[in-house]
Amino acid sequence: MSASSTPCRPRLLTQNSRLRPHGIFNWTLPAWAGRLPDGRTYNTCPSAGVCRHICYALHGTYRIPTVKARHQANLRLVLNESDAFATAMAADLELPVLQGKWVRIHDAGDFFTDDYTRTWLQLIRTHPAVRFYAYTKEVDRFRRLVEPDPPTNFRWVYSYGGTQDHTLNPEADRVADVFPTTEDAKDAGYHSQADCDLLAVTGLPRSE
The per-residue pLDDT for 2 is 42
| Res 3: pLDDT | 46
How many CB atoms lie under 10 A from the CB of residue 1? Answer: 6
Cβ–Cβ < 8 Å for 164, 47: yes
Give just the sign of the alpha carbon dihedral 25, 31, 35, 41. positive
Measured CA distances, 18 to 2, 26, 81, 96, 152 (Å): 34, 11, 30, 22, 25
Q: What is the pLDDT of residue 1?
A: 43
CA–CA separation, 208 vs 43, rounded Å? 35
pLDDT in tens, the chain (208 residues): 444 455 678 999 999 999 999 999 999 999 888 999 999 999 999 999 877 656 655 556 667 688 889 999 999 999 999 999 999 999 999 999 999 999 999 999 999 999 999 999 999 999 999 999 999 999 999 999 999 999 999 999 999 999 999 999 999 999 999 888 888 888 888 888 889 999 999 988 877 5
As a residue count, the chain comes to: 208
pLDDT of residue 50: 77
Beta-carbon count within 10 A of 206 CB: 17
**Helices 65-80 and 82-93: angle between axes, nearest 10 degrees:** 110
